[in-house]
Structure 1
Amino acid sequence: MQAKISAFFKPSTTKISDPPQLFSPIEDELELKAPEISITYKRRAPKADPCSNSQQTEETPVDLNSVVSTVKPACMLGQILNKKRSYAQFHLELGQSDFLLHTCYICGLKYARGEEGDEKVHKAFHKKYTQGIQFKGWHNERVVPMPSGDGARIILILDGDPSAQWNKILDVVKMIEKELGLEDGWLIHKSCKVYLFISSQRIAGCLVAEPIKNAYRVVCSEAPKSSSITHAKEAGSNSTVLHFGDVSFKREVIKTAPSVNSPELIDSDVSGAIFCDNEAVPALCGIRAIWVTPSNRRKHIATRLLDAARKSFRMGFVLESSQLAFSQPTSAGKILASRYSGTESFLVYKAATLNC
């Protein structure tokens, strides 16, 4: 007879006892002495990072459980955006005379542009050269009495005056020698008399005179001058006629005779050599050098200095303008000497090189 299905779901009344546990002392000892094995992993050496200056060369063990996934910033883009470009100015040296030092065309001083020290030196020297060296005055001044309505005065300095006065003179002399191209220390000696023109507390002009015994008269070159005038007239006559096709226009030109003060009185080649007469004539005062600051030129300062030298060079005696002789006159000096003397045949002399 087949058993009913409910018989399979009846709980069992018999209690099955658990099998006895077997304990082995050897296994317990091995289990206690077995070491713990930790699993670690080594990360591969990363590629060179262009954003960082240092590179990791050692491999360090990394626990994967502590690794947190991070997103690497796009440093290349940031480097391009944040990088500041450095611009450098380059120059080509092709034999320029003023490649390193610039020469001032007014005062002639060479200096480095952009250098703070050189700029200050040039600024101070440029002001001294163009406006004159600053002069506050002395306690004992030898003032030459001259008519003056502008507050200027002329001071005479002689050998034996205080050294402080001569130190100021030497500062002026250095500027004169540099501009005239003279040798250092050539201009002044013991027999010289120095005249300073003071205006607005600055030395605006200087004249150095010395005693002489004779001089030579300049010879006028008439033939070259007449030929040059003839060519000028021919060129002038042709330039006054304007031709426009068959029509001609002629301009009327009124010519006047040049005055004594006109530069036309002097030979056209003012920068050329001076030809003198072989026969010496007596002279008393030699103008070794005369100089006026550029900003004070064409103000008759040189004329006033020459007047002061004529009236005070010899005590109690006033020299004639024709008794002054000039040493090595420049082109401007020729014009001044001719205007002041009233003739082209003014006196010149060769100044000797004397030691102070």
Structure 2
Amino acid sequence: MPQAKISAFFKPSSPHPPPVAPPPPPLEISVTYTRRHPNPESKRSDIDGSQLYSSEIEKNDGIAVSSLRSDPVGKLVNKKRSYAQYHLELGQSDFLLHTCSVCGLRYARGDEGDEKVHKTFHKSFYEGIHFKGWRSERLVSKPSCNGNRILLVLDCDPSAQKRKVEEIIKIMEKELGFSDDQLLHKLCKVYLFISRHRIVGCLVAEPIKKAHRIISNSSSCNDSDDISHKLAVADTELMRPKPTVQFGAFSFKREAIKRSCSTNSAKVDQWDGGAILCEEEAVLALCGFRAIWVVPSHRRKGIASQLLDVARKSFCSSKMLDHSQCAFSPPTSSGKALASRFCSSNSFLVYMAEDV
């Protein structure tokens, strides 16, 4: 009996199993990706020249999949960060650039490139431009036996000589106040003073037809009369009663100090920066001194006077010019003193653009 119950318990199932419900259909989820606009800053090349390509959209079985394509080496380039120093400019004077008090060049202190440029320019401006010499030099004078010499450069000379002259002309234009490319033209003759392998002086001369004599009174204004007038005024001031200011028991009096008057010789070296008056009648002149310049380290050594004298003797190949046949362009205060010493008179010749 127990055996029958056990057999009945393990009785096989019926040959036709009950029907099973079919599984529900799978849930479809559509994912859509939109292509972004390309960023030009993201495409940067690294040291090996590889690039990071933008991702492309690939479709697989109706599902959008994004893939990233790399360079052949297999490196991904990270975007490099750029660091910049910012400043607040609130109207400070000389904020970023420093102006040299000697050569006048503006440069950024602490910047290696600017410091190097300023050092080279400052040395050329103060001590003279370095000069190795030329194979064919037009020597016009040797002022002394210590190697100093004066060379003449014309427009027909080789390009190497003309480039050296243009380098000097740029410095002269900046210091003398000429506009760019306005100082030199084809008819000019350039005299260079060479000392110890450096160009320390330059004179630009040009042919002219006439000039006007300067009126000495416009510059000196009768020095003796002017000095006498100043002395009379000073004496009158001394004779006037001095004003007194009283503060309780203390009284303060104004004291006049008599200043020493300059002599005529000092007037020649330091001219007043006023207008120049010239005679209306023009006189014959052949050589015009357009501009003259000497480096600061060699001034007060007679270099400018030597250049003027050599130009007077060699400007015309047929004859030597007299001082009265040479004229100056409208001079500065220093140029007036130089012209007076060269002509030994306060009445020298001045020419304008229409006199050329």
TM-score (norm 1): 0.64
Runs of at least 4 residues of structure 1 off by over 6 A?
235-241
Report 1:1-356 matches (<5 A): 93-221=89-217, 223=221, 225-226=223-224, 228-234=226-232, 258=264, 262-265=265-268, 268-269=271-272, 271-351=273-353
Question: What do residues 264-306 of structure 1 show as CA deviations (whole Å, max 9, x unaligned)?
Answer: 237841x222111111011010001000001110010001101
For residue 151 of structure 1, give the secondary structure of its aligned residue in structure 2: coil
Question: What do residues 233-280 of structure 1 show as CA deviations (whole Å, max 9, x unaligned)?
Answer: 347769999xxxxxxxxx9x9x9974xxx34237841x2221111110
User: Structure 2 vs 1, CA of residues 353 and 105 (structure 1 numbering), >3 Å: closer, same or farther?
Assistant: farther
Give how far 1:116 is off.
1.2
User: Structure 2 vs 1, CA of residues 210 and 133 (structure 1 numbering), >3 Å: closer, same or farther?
Assistant: same
Given that residues 156 and 195 in structure 1 are in contact (C-alpha distance below 8 angstroms), is that contact kept between their aligned partners in structure 2?
Answer: yes
After alignment, is 230-239 or 94-103 more displaced? Answer: 230-239
User: Structure 2 vs 1, CA of residues 111 and 343 (structure 1 numbering), >3 Å: closer, same or farther?
Assistant: same
After alignment, is 93-102 or 204-213 more displaced? Answer: 93-102
For residue 208 of structure 1, give the secondary structure of its aligned residue in structure 2: strand
Q: Distance in 2 between matches of 1:172 and 1:284?
A: 25
Q: 1:200 corresponds to which letter in structure 2?
A: R
Q: Distance in 1 between matches of 2:355 and 2:112?
A: 40
For residue 144 of structure 1, give the secondary structure of its aligned residue in structure 2: strand
Give how far 1:192 is off.
0.6
Give how far 1:150 is off.
2.8
Given that residues 216 and 277 in structure 1 are in contact (C-alpha distance below 8 angstroms), is that contact kept between their aligned partners in structure 2?
Answer: yes
Q: 2:171 corresponds to which letter in structure 1?
A: M
Give how far 1:320 is off.
1.6
Unpaired segments of 5 or more residues in structure 1?
1-89, 242-250
Give how far 1:158 is off.
1.1
Q: Distance in 2 between matches of 1:153 and 1:206?
A: 12
User: Structure 2 vs 1, CA of residues 223 and 273 (structure 1 numbering), >3 Å: closer, same or farther?
Assistant: closer
Q: Distance in 2 between matches of 1:304 and 1:182?
A: 24
Give how far 1:91 is off.
8.2
TM-score (norm 2): 0.64
Question: What do residues 101-159 of structure 1 show as CA deviations (whole Å, max 9, x unaligned)?
Answer: 11111111001111111111111100000011100100000101344133200000112
After alignment, is 134-143 or 321-330 more displaced? Answer: 321-330
User: Structure 2 vs 1, CA of residues 199 and 235 (structure 1 numbering), >3 Å: closer, same or farther?
Assistant: farther
Unpaired segments of 5 or more residues in structure 2?
1-85, 240-257
Q: Distance in 2 between matches of 1:145 and 1:268?
A: 31
Q: 1:129 corresponds to which letter in structure 2?
A: F
Q: Distance in 2 between matches of 1:180 and 1:224?
A: 29
Q: Distance in 2 between matches of 1:201 and 1:294?
A: 16
Q: Distance in 2 between matches of 1:143 and 1:135?
A: 15
Question: Matched residues, percent identical?
Answer: 57
* Structure with greater Cα Rg: 1
Question: What do residues 289-342 of structure 1 show as CA deviations (whole Å, max 9, x unaligned)?
Answer: 000001110010001101110110011311122321001211110110011111
User: Structure 2 vs 1, CA of residues 305 and 237 (structure 1 numbering), >3 Å: closer, same or farther?
Assistant: farther
Q: Distance in 1 between matches of 2:262 and 2:182?
A: 44
Given that residues 269 and 334 in structure 2 are in contact (C-alpha distance below 8 angstroms), is that contact kept between their aligned partners in structure 1?
Answer: no
Given that residues 141 and 151 in structure 2 are in contact (C-alpha distance below 8 angstroms), is that contact kept between their aligned partners in structure 1?
Answer: no
